[in-house]
A and B are shown apart, each in its own frame.
Chain A
Amino acid sequence: MVAPAFTLMCLLLLGPLLGVIALSFTDYQLGSPQFSWIGLANYQDMFGDRVFWLSLRNTLTYVAIVVPAAVALGLAVALLIESGGSFRAWYRTIYFLPVMATLIAMSIVWEFMLHPQFGLINGLLHGIGFEGFSWLQDRRTALYALCVIGVWQALGFNMVLFLAGLVSIPRQLYDAAEIDGAHGAWARFRLVTWPMLGPTTVFVVVITGIRSFQVFDTVHVLTKGGPSKSSEVLIHTMYVEGFEFFRSGYGAALTVVFLVFVLLLTLVKSALANRGVHYV
C-alpha cells in the first residue's frame, strides 16, 4: 500500500515544503491581499545582509560548541551512571529533568542564575574571589552563555540514548575483551564500548545537530539576539523577519537556507550508516 503513505507525505511534508520554497520567490507580506513573483531578489537581499551572515555564523558556532560538548558529556554521564552501582534510576531522572521541563520556563530560571547582580553564578564566582560578569548582556559572552544552556538541555536526552545503547551491548563482548587481555577502562572502551555505540553515536550527533540548528527558545527569552546581534541565530532571524516585520517571503528564504543545513546533516547520517557504522 504505497498510495496512502505517499498521499500523507505529500500532504504533510512535501506540500508545505514546496509552499515555503515558492513563497521564498515572492514579496508576500503576512496579511497582504496580493503578492508578486520577484525571483531570487529575497536571496540577493539575504546574501547582501550583514545580519544574515552574522546569524548564520552564530548558529554554526552554536552547533560547533553544543554538539561535541553535549554528545561527549552525555556519553560520559551515561558511562558513569552505567558503571555506578546504586542510585542509577535517581541519577537518570535528575539528568533527564531538563529534557522534560519546558525550555521557556527553564530559560527564565537561567536568567536568574546568570543575573549580573544577584545571580547564583556570579555569587559563586564572588565566593571564590573572581569578578562577576554580565553574561547575557555582554556581546563577548552572550552566545557562549546560550551554548552552556543548550548543552545543559541536550545532555539529558543524549545520556538516555547512550544508556539505551550501552544496555544493548552484549555482556559476552566484555568477557571476550577481558579474556583477550583488554585490561582497564580505556582498552575496554576502545575495543568494545565505543565501536558498539557507533550507531547510537551517529544518531545522537545528528539529532543534537538538528536540535542545535533549531535553537530559538533560549535566544528569544534571554537575549532576543542581542546585544547588538551577537547572539542572533537563524531561526530567531526568521521569526523576527516573518512575524515582527511580516516579511514572509524573506522569512521563507531564510527557512530554505535552514532546511538545506538540516538536509545536509541527514545526508551525513545516511552516508555514515551506509559506510557500516551499523554492523549487522
Chain B
Amino acid sequence: MAKIELNGIRKTFDQTAILKGIDLAIEDGEFIALIGPSGCGKSTLLRIIAGLEPQSSGEVRIDGVQVDGIRPSARNLAMVFQSYALYPHLTVFDNIAVPLRMRRHSALARMPLVGRLLPGRARTEHGIREDVERVAAQLELSALLKRKPGQLSGGQRQRVAVGRAIVRQPVGFLFDEPLSNLDAKLRVHMRAELAQLHRQLKATFVYVTHDQAEAMTMSSRIAVMIEGNIVQIGTPAEVYENPRDIRVAEFVGSPKINAMPGVIREDRGLEVLGRQLRLNTTAAAGRCTVCVRPERMELGHGPGAIAGIVTHLEHLGAEAFIHVKVDRIDLPLLARVSPDQQLPEIGSAIHLGFSANAVRIFDAAGKRIDVTAPARSERVREKALG
C-alpha cells in the first residue's frame, strides 16, 4: 500500500512542454482519477509514475522513497493498458503468470528446456500456479485459463489484464483508459467491478480517463488536467459543484455547462445578457462569464427571465434536454428537465431562469469569482433571474 507523491513534474518533448510542473499527493488506498481532454498530458503523467517515461525534471516518491531512475517493475506498481496489452501467444494462465515467473524464477530457470532441469523450479512453479488460480477464481476466469487472448471477448480480456496486474500484489495500480475499448453497456458493468475491486484490495488506484462518468462514479478524488497542469483536485462532487476554473466547469459535466457573457459593474453588481443578477462580488469590474448547469436552468416566466426559441429537444426517457437559442450567444443554452412536465414545442418561444445559488462566475481569465447574495434577501430561495 503506497502513498504516491509527485513534486514539480515537468516533461518536454522536442521543445513542447507536455507537463508544466505537476504537484500531486496521492494518499494510500485512494482512488484518484486523472481526467482531462485528450492531449492534456494525463497519460504521460501516468507513464512517468510507472517509470516507463523519464520526467524532464521533478521527482516521484512512492512511500517516501524517491523512485526516479528505478525500473518500472521495481517500483512495484501494476499497470492496466487501454489495449490490455496481453501477450497474444500466451494462454490466459501464462499471461497472468508472467509477472510472477519474471520475479520468482531466475533468468536461467526461465530458459526453455534447460530451465526445467533446475532444482526448486517445480516448487516455485507450483506456487505460481496456486496464485494464478486464486486470482482467476476471484475474477471468474477459471474456465478460461487455457484460452488465448484472441478467443476472449473485450470484457474478458480486460479482466485478464486486471488479473495480471493484481496477481503480484503491487502497492498501487495505474489504469490508462482501461475501459475505452469496451462497448457502453460493458463499460458501465466494468465500472462497478473496478470500484468493487478497489474496495476489496484497498490499494492505491490512479486512473486516467477522458470519460468523466468513469471518474465521477469510481474515484474518491478527481484531478482535472488541462494543457499540462492540474487545474483542480477535489472530490467528484466538489469538482462538479465548485469548479475553480471555467475549463474545469466546461470539461466536467455532460451535457456541458451553459456559459453566458456577463459584466461585473463598478458597483460590484453583476449582469448577464444585460439583465441584473441579484448577486454581488468583490472582484474588479470587467467582463465575466456566468455559468449555470443545465439541470439548474428553470423554465418559466418572471421578471428578467431570458427569452429564447426552442431549437431542439432530446428526450432520453428519464430526462429531457431543451436546446434554447438566445440572442447574443452562439451556442444554444441547455435545460435539463424532467420529461414528466409538458415539453415545449420546437420553434416555440420560451423563458429560462435560474436561482442565485446555481450561478458560477468566472473572470475574463477563466478563474472563479466568489459571489455573495445581498443580505436583504428574505425569501428562502432567492431567484437570480426569472
Contacts and interface: CB of A to CB of B under 8 A. Distances in A.
Q: Tell me the interface secondary structure of chain B in the complex.
A: loop
B88 A178 contact: no
B79 interface: yes
Interface stretch (B96-104, B121-129, B243-251, B311-319): B96-104
Chain B CB within 10 A, most for which of A183, A186, A198: A183
A26 to B, nearest CB: 50
Given A187-B102, A187-B107, A191-B98, A176 B88 contact: no
A172 B85 contact: yes
B69 to A, nearest CB: 14
Given A179-B77, A187-B102, A279 B52 contact: no
Interface in A155-197: 170, 172-173, 175-183, 186-187, 190-192, 195-196
Contacts of A178: 51-52, 71-73
A83 B89 CA distance: 23
Contacts of B52: 175, 178-179
B264 interface: no
Contacts of B103: 181
A183 B148 contact: no
Contacts of A85: none
Given A178-B72, A179-B72, A172 B87 contact: no
A276 B148 contact: yes
Contacts of A182: 73, 98, 102
B164 interface: yes
Chain A CB within 10 A, most for which of B77, B78, B79: B79
Interface in B83-111: 83, 85-90, 98-99, 102-103, 107, 110
Nearest to B81: A172
A180 B107 contact: no
A176 B85 contact: yes
Interface in B338-360: none
A186 B87 CA distance: 16
B50 interface: yes
A176 B99 CA distance: 10
A195 B89 contact: yes
Given A170-B83, A178-B52, A179-B78, A280 B88 contact: yes
A276 B89 CA distance: 8
B286 interface: no
A178 to B, nearest CB: 5
A239 B177 CA distance: 62
A170 B181 CA distance: 15
Interface in B151-199: 164
B87 A173 contact: yes
A82 B6 CA distance: 33
B150 A279 contact: yes
A196 B107 CA distance: 21
Contacts of B87: 173, 176, 191-192, 195
Q: Tell me the interface secondary structure of chain A in the complex.
A: helix
A127 B84 CA distance: 57
A279 B85 contact: no
Given A182-B102, A183-B73, A279-B89, A176 B81 contact: yes
A181 B103 CA distance: 7
A180 B99 contact: yes
B85 A175 contact: yes
A253 B87 CA distance: 47
A173 B89 contact: no
Contact of A179 (B79, B89, B149): B79
Contacts of A280: 88, 150
A25 B168 CA distance: 68
Contacts of A176: 79, 81, 85-87, 164
A241 B271 CA distance: 101
Interface string A269-280: 000000010011
A177 B82 CA distance: 15
B73 A198 contact: no
Contacts of B79: 175-176, 179
Nearest to A172: B85
B290 to A, nearest CB: 44
Contacts of B149: 279
Nearest to B73: A181
A170 B149 CA distance: 15
Interface in A51-66: none
A198 B150 CA distance: 15
Nearest to B107: A187
B102 A181 contact: yes
A181 B74 CA distance: 8
Nearest to B102: A181
B89 A198 contact: yes
Nearest to A190: B110
A170 B148 contact: no
Contacts of B71: 178, 183
A191 B47 CA distance: 21
Nearest to A279: B88
A173 B103 CA distance: 18
Interface string A196-227: 10100000000000000000000000000000
Interface of A: 170, 172-173, 175-183, 186-187, 190-192, 195-196, 198, 276, 279-280
Given A178-B51, A279-B150, 14 more contacts: A170-B85, A175-B85, A176-B79, A176-B85, A177-B98, A178-B73, A179-B99, A180-B73, A180-B98, A180-B99, A180-B164, A191-B98, A195-B90, A280-B88
Of all A-B residue pairs in the complex, the 3 with the closest CB atoms, nearest first, are A181-B102, A279-B88, A181-B73
22 contacts: A175-B47, A175-B79, A175-B85, A176-B85, A176-B86, A176-B87, A178-B52, A178-B72, A178-B73, A179-B52, A180-B99, A180-B102, A180-B164, A181-B99, A183-B71, A187-B102, A187-B110, A191-B87, A192-B87, A195-B87, A196-B88, A279-B88
